[in-house]
Structure formats: C-alpha cells, structure tokens
C-alpha cells in the first residue's frame, strides 16, 4: 500500500511540474522583458526536464508495483469442492441417529439443536447432562468420532424468563445470550456452526410484534459472546423461513438494524413447491440486499430445504411436496448442484430420515431414508451417486447451448480432470456435447457405462446425469 501511495505521488508531482512548465512561458510573453525571458526560458526547460524525469519514475514504479501486487479477491468466486457443501438435518431428541450411516453417504455437516429449556431449568444453572432428556456431551462426541461438522441451532425460549415464545424483553435476551455463551464455552474448538434461533420470522416466534428488531437485538447481544468463547466457531443468522417477498422484507429490516456486522453468513430456508432452479433469482435478490447494507463479502447458507415425497398429499402443512420418490431424488440432486453453482458454501437437506410412517403427513416424508434409518429412498441413492461422482470437483461454468431450461455444468478437480452434470427442466430432448470426452457416463441413480468421443449426442431429462473424464 505504501509503495502504491509513493508511486501515485511521483506521478502527481510529475504532472504538476509539467503543468507549470506550460504556463511559465505565457507569463514570460506578457512581461516582454528580454533578459528575464532568457532566465525564465532556462527555468522552464529545467522544470520540463524534472517533470519528465519524475513522471517517468512514477510510471515505472506503477508498472513494477502493478506486476507484483496481490490480486484483489473477487466476491462469489466458486472455490468450493462439492463435498464441502453437503449437509442434512436430524432430530436426535426423536431417536438415536446413525451417524456412521450419514457419513457413508458423503454428508459432511449435520444440523440439529441445543434446546435452552432442557439445559437451563433453574435460572443460571446449565445441565448439559443429567437433565432427564439428553446427554449433550455424548451427542457432540458423535460428531467428532465420525468427523462430521456440527451445525447447532440455539433453540428457543425459556419459561423461566417469560411466557411469550419470543426473545422480546431485556431479561430474556440477556438470559438467552448468557446460555448461548455457556454452550459455546463448553463445546469450543469443534468448528461448530452456531445458529441463533430458528425461523424467527415465522411460527416459532410469537407474537411477531417487532420481531425483526427484537431478534436483531438478541443477535447483537449473543454473537460477540459466542465468538469470545469459541473462536473456532461460525455465527449464522437468521434461519429465515422462506425466500419470497415477505420474508425478504423482514430480512431487510434486520439488515437495517445492523445484523450483518455480527454474523458470518446469512442462513435461509428457501422451501418452495416448484423446482429448485427457481432459487437462483432469490439468491440474486438476497445478495443485492447484502451489498446494499455492507461491503463485507457475506455468504448465503441454505440452512434447511427439502421436498416431501407424498403421492397422496392432503393439502395440509408445508407445500414443498412432490408426488414420487423419483421427483424427490431429481429435486435433491438439482438442489445441491444449483446451490454449488451459486457458490452457496453449505446446503442442508431436510431431512435425514422420515419423521414417521404416515403416508399422507407432509412432515413424515421429507427423509432420505424411511423412519427405520435402514430402508433407503431413491433420494439417498441419488445423493450417494452425486457425492461419489463429484465430491472432489469444483464448479467451473455453465455451458450455454441456447435454451435457458437446459443445465450443462462443467467441473474441474485438482488434477485438472473435467466432469459434467446435465439435465433440463424442459421436455426430454437431446443435445450435443462438443468437448472431447473419455471416461464414464453415470445416471442419477448410479448406473454407468463407458463413453468416448467428441460431439456426442446425449439425452437431457429431468434426472441429472454425469460424465467423468478419466484421461
């Protein structure tokens, strides 16, 4: 930085001296004094030479500094391996989770919660074990044993400090922040993602009066304490329910209140009834809002999102519903691929397993597996295929073939090997991959065959397929 300043000063001085050189002869002509004219002419020549020398030095220094200057980091440049972005949600309070099985499907991050009213049942006394419900120390240890990153919501309110299901008075905000600080201190240095509350713009926060203001105030109190007690951790918020117009209005209110100065990422839950590609427009709007209120490069995390597979939906509950396991598998695969292409550093699929066996209950059918954690659904097979195929690849670019409903993604790994993922949201049709390939072609559920050649005609369907070059 100092070199750049000196360089600019050289250029500025050179320009000023050269500029003066232009005006001194004019002043000389007006005075029309012969002897003085000779002296001034000599001075102008000297000034001109000095100006040119200084200007030359400045330009030379500029070229040297520019050559060796560190490149300015660009926002939203995709440097993520796909494997870094794959996560899922669990509910340990509903039954023991098979962490080993989770790891086997290529999942690297798991989201669950620490529950305030379980841990603090007397004011100021925290029981992470021997609380009559769950041994949180043993729970956290499972993450470490299986090398999974914990993503922990800090939930919700506590009747010791008020009847409302909201952090809406000074006492409960202070108590919540103290409890969160105790959690961070107990489980520090474990690379935990700490999420402050969950969906405060929805039904988990009632009444909603001034919810954006009260929530931001709670974050301002809580985030610094978490960071102080667990420097290895990451603080994310607000776990926004939805990504439509009304949720984004609520989100902007928190930005106005200054929440972005206290968090490391904006977490959203972009549930929708339609296809996952539609989220691209929502991310664009959220990024525009972030840029409006800060110059910091704050990423977006997809902290919870899934589709329930229900062939006989009764129209009740969350409308993120698809009519078959095949469509759930398609949407899951495309969701992870789209989020990775949009430089979303983490995608949490909701849910690891079905919450029950009711075939018409939306909440019972979001899982990757059936409720027994033994019976796989097509979505978990698709996830394993995706992970096995592209886990070590980084997104390179989307190849334009003239139809904005066609998605042909190109990937590169550390060995400079190239891979592709391709599908369409349009009716099934064919396209020509102009690049030369030699390797394997793999469908969404893992069936594969050899492929070799250039300008190969390939089918585009709603189920993504992959090509992996191996030469």
Q: What are phi and psi of 122, to 5 degrees?
A: -125, 140
Contact 354, 364 (CB under 8 A): yes
- Residue 61 pLDDT: 45
- C-alpha–C-alpha distance, residues 183 and 114, integer Å: 8
Q: Which is more confidently placed, 169 or 29?
A: 169
> Which parts of 146-278 fold into alpha helices (H)?
170-186, 211-229, 245-256
- Residue 26 pLDDT: 41
Instruction: Categorize the per-residue pLDDT at 49 as very low, low, confident or very high, splitting at 50, 70 and 90.
Output: low
- C-alpha–C-alpha distance, residues 439 and 461, integer Å: 21
Q: Please name which of 345, 356, 334, 252 lies closest in space to residue 298, comparing C-alpha atoms.
A: 345
- Which residues, listed in sequence order, are joined to residue 438 by a DSSP beta bridge? 452
- Residue 32 pLDDT: 42
- Residue 313 pLDDT: 84
- CB burial string 132-144: b at 16+ within 10 A, e below: eebebeebbebbe
Q: Please name which of 282, 324, 289, 284 lies closest in space to residue 307, comparing C-alpha atoms.
A: 324
- Residue 34 pLDDT: 42
Instruction: Categorize the per-residue pLDDT at 196 as very low, low, confident or very high, splitting at 50, 70 and 90.
Output: very high
Q: Residue 209 above 70 pLDDT?
A: yes
- Residue 42 pLDDT: 52
- Residue 106 pLDDT: 97
Q: Which two tokens stand for residue 406?
A: 């066609």
Contact 351, 88 (CB under 8 A): yes
Q: What is the pLDDT of residues 119-151, one digit of tens each?
A: 999 999 999 999 999 999 999 999 999 999 999
- CB burial string 64-96: b at 16+ within 10 A, e below: eeeeeeeeeeeeeeeebbbebbbbbbbeeeeee
Contact 31, 44 (CB under 8 A): no
* Residue 452: strand, helix, or coil: strand
* Residue 55: strand, helix, or coil: helix
Q: What is the pLDDT of residues 320-346, one digit of tens each?
A: 999 999 999 999 999 999 999 999 999
Q: Residue 52 above 60 pLDDT?
A: no
Q: What is the pLDDT of residues 61-100, one digit of tens each?
A: 444 433 333 333 334 456 899 999 999 999 999 989 999 9
Q: Please name which of 456, 459, 439 lies closest in space to residue 390, comparing C-alpha atoms.
A: 439
- Residue 50 pLDDT: 56
Enter the DSSP assignment of 46.
Answer: H
- Label residue 67 left, alpha or beta by phi (over 0 means left) and psi (-120 to 50 means alpha): alpha
Strand 406-412 and strand 394-398: the pairing is antiparallel
- Residue 78 pLDDT: 65
Q: Find the helix or strand (DSSP H, E) in which 60 lies.
A: helix 34-68
What does the DSSP assignment read for 198-218? Answer: S-TTTTTSBS-TTHHHHHHHH
Q: Please name which of 171, 137, 176, 126 lies closest in space to residue 155, comparing C-alpha atoms.
A: 176
- Residue 67 pLDDT: 37
- To the nearest 10 degrees (0 to 180), the angle between helices 325-341 and 279-293 is 30
Contact 377, 367 (CB under 8 A): yes
Strand 448-453 and strand 265-269: the pairing is unpaired
Instruction: Categorize the per-residue pLDDT at 5 as very low, low, confident or very high, splitting at 50, 70 and 90.
Output: very low
Instruction: Categorize the per-residue pLDDT at 46 as very low, low, confident or very high, splitting at 50, 70 and 90.
Output: low
Instruction: Categorize the per-residue pLDDT at 459 as very low, low, confident or very high, splitting at 50, 70 and 90.
Output: very high
- C-alpha–C-alpha distance, residues 85 and 342, integer Å: 11
* Residue 462: strand, helix, or coil: coil
Strands (E), 73-219: 86-89, 109-115, 149-155, 193-196
Give Cβ neighbours of residue 235 (< 8 Å, ≥ 6 apart): 194, 196, 223, 226, 227, 262, 263, 264
Contact 116, 154 (CB under 8 A): yes
What dihedral angle (degrees, nearest 10) is formed by the CA atoms of 236, 242, 246, 249? 20
Integer Rg of the chain from CA: 30
Average pLDDT, the chain: 88
Taking 3-state DSSP, the helix, strand and coil percentages for the chain, each rounded to the nearest 5, stand at 40, 20, 35
Q: For the residues 220-224, what does the mean pLDDT come to?
A: 98
- Residue 266 pLDDT: 98
Instruction: Categorize the per-residue pLDDT at 312 as very low, low, confident or very high, splitting at 50, 70 and 90.
Output: confident
- Residue 287 pLDDT: 98
- C-alpha–C-alpha distance, residues 301 and 80, integer Å: 13
- Residue 309 pLDDT: 96
- C-alpha–C-alpha distance, residues 366 and 7, integer Å: 61
| Omega prior to 56 cis, within 30 of 0 | no
Instruction: Categorize the per-residue pLDDT at 314 as very low, low, confident or very high, splitting at 50, 70 and 90.
Output: confident
């Amino acid at each position: 930085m100092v070199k750049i300043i000196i360089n600019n000063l050289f250029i500025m001085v050179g320009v000023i001296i050269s500029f003066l050189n232009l005006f001194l002869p004019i002043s000389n002509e007006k005075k029309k004094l012969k002897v003085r004219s000779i002296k001034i002419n000599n001075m102008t020549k000297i000034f001109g030479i000095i100006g040119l020398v200084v200007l030359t030095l400045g330009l030379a220094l500029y070229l040297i500094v520019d050559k060796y200057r560190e490149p300015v980091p660009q926002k939203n440049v995709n440097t993520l391996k796909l494997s870094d972005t794959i996560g899922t949600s669990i509910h340990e309070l509903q039954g023991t989770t098979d962490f080993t099985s989770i790891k086997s499907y290529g999942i690297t991050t798991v989201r669950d919660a620490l529950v305030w009213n379980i841990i603090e049942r007397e004011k100021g006394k925290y029981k992470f074990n021997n609380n009559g419900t769950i041994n949180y120390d043993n729970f956290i240890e499972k993450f470490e044993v299986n090398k999974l990153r914990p993503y922990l919501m800090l939930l919700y309110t506590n009747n010791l400090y008020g009847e409302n299901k909201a952090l809406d008075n000074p006492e409960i905000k202070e108590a919540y922040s103290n409890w969160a600080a105790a959690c961070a201190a107990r489980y520090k240095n474990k690379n935990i993602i700490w999420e402050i509350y969950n969906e405060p713009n929805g039904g988990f926060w009632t009444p909603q009066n001034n919810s954006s203001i009260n929530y931001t105030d709670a974050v301002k109190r809580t985030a610094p304490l978490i960071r102080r007690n667990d420097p290895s951790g990451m603080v994310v918020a607000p776990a926004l329910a939805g990504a439509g117009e009304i949720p984004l209005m609520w989100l902007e209110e928190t930005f106005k209140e200054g929440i972005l100065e206290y968090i490391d990422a904006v977490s959203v839950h972009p549930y929708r009834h339609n296809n996952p590609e539609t989220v691209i427009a929502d991310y664009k709007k959220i990024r525009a809002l972030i840029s409006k209120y800060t110059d910091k490069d704050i990423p977006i995390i997809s902290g919870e999102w899934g589709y329930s597979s229900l062939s006989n939906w009764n129209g009740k509950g969350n409308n993120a519903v698809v009519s078959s396991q095949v469509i759930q598998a398609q949407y899951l695969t495309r969701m992870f691929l789209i989020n990775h292409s949009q430089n979303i550093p983490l995608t949490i699929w909701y849910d690891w397993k079905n919450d029950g066996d009711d075939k018409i209950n939306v909440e019972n059918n979001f899982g990757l597996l059936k409720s027994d954690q033994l019976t796989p659904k097509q979505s978990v097979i698709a996830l394993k295929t995706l992970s096995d195929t592209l886990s070590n690849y980084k997104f390179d670019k989307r190849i334009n073939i003239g139809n904005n409903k066609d998605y042909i993604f190109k990937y590169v790994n550390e060995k400079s090997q190239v891979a592709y993922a391709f599908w369409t949201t349009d009716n099934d049709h064919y396209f020509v991959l102009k690049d030369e390939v030699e390797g394997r072609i793999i469908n969404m559920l893992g069936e594969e065959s050899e492929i070799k050649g250039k300008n190969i005609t390939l089918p585009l369907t709603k189920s993504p397929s992959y090509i992996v070059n191996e030469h």
